A and B are shown apart, each in its own frame.
Chain A
């Protein structure tokens, strides 16, 4: 299975959000999409599964144009886990995950043994099998996120799109979730495309990375090709230390904002510029980065 994004464009009124994005990806890899707020990352994911209709270009999955496929056929190919995990009605976890079978259940809605098995596998992989009859509004943020991923897995997709999957999770839950994502890519041979603001996690867990800026691809390639001091300074305007770490692979430390520091407030009074406040996020946990086994296909 392969995906080719060919010159995808999208505009909100006169605002060009995507200006002709082109890249390709294959089954079994984790592709990270990084970029500042408003650069078009989520819009790109939405164009990939036709939640938004691109104004130009096309998204090809195995030589079929996604825009010409029915909603159900798209749902069989790709699943999308959005940022929000809020619910209006408290469905049980089992009901919620079974919803993912919508595109594969017959018109009359009869669930077969295959559907139950798919739900079981999805819940087992995401480690929520013990929650079947719990209500979703009784779960923690991390557990809800797992339920949403389980529901997406119940679709049995070949492509999993994740929009900021670690949002609002504490550091250990972030690592747990990224381990799960890496395991899914390997065991299900899925293509996983994830949008994230977390450069450190992207460096640790992604196989390849696209960094977007202003609706265009500013950098693309393997993690080592894209996440480096120069790109982080040029695109994110931050100073960073990027080093190889024996235990964890690529280690990124965001030191501070590039250029002159801003102002700071001490004791309620505005002071003159102070030295950069170092923002050091050290990775204490995690496995070694998977080798950069993919050539740059971007």
Chain B
């Protein structure tokens, strides 16, 4: 291992690390772009890459144009948003709670969203306000209702302890899961199928409106977390130590939870609940590049988006019917995760 005994050597080490980080981010971004282009080509009807680019730049045949612009592009953009949002949320939760099992669902937000969607599917709740968008609206709204409940439960006169927040999230999540089960139990056959399908997660119904609906909260959530990367580094080293180094831990914690809620709310609103992505993607990148959030955040955004697009494309292309992505994220993601875990060079959690 190289030693850096002079200021010049340390300076060179600093800039070599910067270059390495920039290269890794550029490679991941290129992989995202390649996946994006490839997945625009693949489907029941394969379109050559030059035709895809022709369509993207305003040309192409009317049929290809309709397939790419009206069907595949909005669906892929939704995949990108959801993959990036869930991966980043998982990363933020794991670092905030210093818990390898943390995922976007750790605060019960996904369960709350599932309950909101179930209410809309079963009773048409929210239809008076949002019409045909009642399901995503209720899912999104219940993300924030859940977050508020969790925060109120965890709050004491001494402040909000992270562990209490975690436990409150687990309890509230379990409560909403119970309510979703109850609604499934009392639902008729069609409603039950709709609820179960929604909870498996899918991009089958994603259109441009879905993209517009999710883009604002998700991009806002990503920005909030992105601008807290340094604070996340320090907090992941210990909250008390972070406070000693000048981090306003309370404000950072609220912002991270808010950013996560925006990401998860936007995601479940258009795709339903998709598990495992938020758990494994951050772990995979952490094992590959280390724990620094300056690098992990862009990698989770690009890598999560590419992962979700890949899974969605497999779900469309490999089966005669489009299989819900929530099933494939677990079936394909788990073995890949185990592979990375077994071949990693370094333990990432103490």
A91-B290, A120-B10 given; A82·B234 CB < 8 A: no
Contact A137 B350, CB 8 Å, known A76-B246, A88-B236, A116-B10: yes
Q: Fill in one digit per residue for A56-85: 1 if any B CB lies within 8 Å of its CB, else 0.
A: 000000000000001111111001101010
Binds A, one of B30-38, B195-203, B341-349: B341-349
Whole-angstrom distance between the alpha carbons of A120 and B237 in the complex? 21
Give CA–CA (A220, B69) in the complex, Å: 78
Question: Are B237 and A88 closer than 8 Å at their CB atoms?
Answer: yes
Task: Tell me if A111 is interfacial: C-beta within 8 Å of chain B.
Answer: yes
Q: How far is the CB of A147 from chain B (nearest CB, A)?
A: 11
Residues of A near B7 (CB, < 8 A) are 116-117, 120
Q: Which residues of B contact A116 (CB under 8 A)?
A: 7, 10-11, 14
- The residue from A51, A91, A105, A151 contacting B240, defined by CB atoms under 8 A apart: A51
Of all chain A residues, the one with the shortest Cβ separation from B249 is A71
Expressed in whole angstroms, the minimum distance between the Cβ of A36 and any Cβ of chain B is 23
**Assuming the A-B contacts A129-B5, A133-B1, are A79 and B244 also in contact, with contact meaning beta carbons closer than 8 angstroms in the complex?**
yes
| Residues of A with C-beta under 8 A to B95 | 89
Q: How many residues belonging to A are interface residues under a CB distance threshold of 8 Å?
A: 46
B: interface residue count bin: 35 or more
In the complex, A51 Cα to B14 Cα: how many Å? 32
Are A72 and B246 closer than 8 Å at their CB atoms? Answer: yes
Cα distance A88–B349 in the bound complex, in angstroms: 6
Chain B CB within 8 A of A90 CB: yes
A148 CA to B144 CA, complexed, in Å:
39
Kindly identify which residue among A71, A76, A91, A111 contacts B237, using a CB–CB cutoff of 8 Å: A91
Asked whether B246 lies within 8 Å of A129 as measured between CB atoms, the reply is: no
Q: Is A189's CB within 8 Å of the partner chain B?
A: no
Interface residue B233 (Cβ < 8 Å from any Cβ of A): yes
Out of B10, B11, B243, B291, which one reaches A89, CB within 8 Å?
A: B291
Per-residue contact bits, chain B 5-19, to A (CB 8 Å; 1 contact, 0 not)? 101001101100100
Asked if B248 is an interface residue, CB under 8 A from chain A, the answer is yes
Q: Are B294 and A109 in contact (CB under 8 A)?
A: yes
Q: A75 and B291 in contact (CB under 8 A), knowing A90-B350, A120-B7?
A: no
How many CB-defined contacts (below 8 Å) exist between A and B?
113
B244-263 contacts to A, CB under 8 A, are 244-248
Check: A259 CB closer than 8 A to any chain B CB: no
Residue B191 CB within 8 A of the other chain? no
The distance from the CB of A215 to the nearest CB of chain B, in whole angstroms, is 19
Distance of B142 from chain A, by nearest CB (Å): 31
Supposing A51-B244, A99-B234 touch, asked if A129 and B350 sit within 8 A by C-beta, the answer is no
Contact A119 B10 (CB under 8 A): yes
Contact between A94 and B13 (Cβ–Cβ < 8 Å)? Answer: yes
The yes or no answer to A135 lying at the interface (CB within 8 A) is yes
For the complex, what is the distance from the CA of A196 to the CA of B294, rounded to whole Å? 37
CB pair A82–B244 under 8 Å, yes or no, is yes
Beta-carbon contact of B292 and A91 below 8 Å? yes
Query: What is the CA–CA distance of A60 and B341 in the complex, to the nearest angstrom?
Result: 51
Residue in chain B with minimal CB distance to A121: B7
A 245-261 contacts with B by CB, 8 A: none
Write out the residue numbers on chain A whose beta carbons fall within 8 Å of the beta carbon of B13: 94, 132-133
In the assembled complex, A173 has its CB within 8 A of some CB on chain B? no
1/0 contact string of B37-54 vs chain A (CB within 8 Å): 000000000000000000
Is B188 at the interface (CB under 8 A from chain A)?
A: no
Residues in B with CB closer than 8 Å to A119 are: 10
- Are the C-beta atoms of B291 and A82 separated by less than 8 Å? no
- With A89-B237, A91-B292 as contacts: A103 and B246 at CB distance below 8 Å: yes
- Given A71-B247, A88-B236, A90-B348, the answer on whether A111 and B2 have CB atoms closer than 8 Å is no
Is residue A276 contacting chain B, with contact meaning CB distance below 8 A? no
In whole Å, how far is A294's beta carbon from the nearest beta carbon of chain B? 27
Asked whether any CB of chain A lies closer than 8 Å to the CB of B65, the reply is no
The residues in A between 92 and 107 inclusive whose CB is less than 8 angstroms from any CB of B are 92, 94-96, 99-100, 102-103, 105, 107
Interface residue? A168 (CB, 8 A): no
A102 to B17 alpha-carbon distance, docked (Å): 18
User: Does B155 reach chain A (CB closer than 8 Å)?
Assistant: no
Show 24 A/B contacts (Cβ-Cβ < 8 Å), sorted by A: A49-B244, A71-B243, A79-B244, A82-B241, A86-B238, A86-B350, A87-B350, A88-B236, A88-B238, A88-B349, A89-B237, A90-B291, A90-B346, A90-B348, A90-B350, A92-B290, A102-B230, A116-B7, A123-B10, A129-B3, A132-B3, A133-B4, A137-B347, A155-B245
Q: What 10 new A-B contacts, CB under 8 Å, besides A51-B244, A86-B350, A91-B291? A: A76-B246, A87-B350, A88-B238, A91-B233, A94-B13, A94-B17, A99-B233, A109-B230, A116-B10, A151-B245
Q: Nearest 8 CB-CB pairs, A to B? A: A75-B246, A103-B246, A89-B291, A72-B246, A80-B244, A130-B3, A88-B98, A132-B4
Which residues in B have some Cβ–Cβ distance to A below 8 Å? 1-5, 7, 10-11, 13-14, 17, 95, 98, 227, 229-230, 233-234, 236-238, 240-241, 243-248, 286, 290-292, 294, 346-350
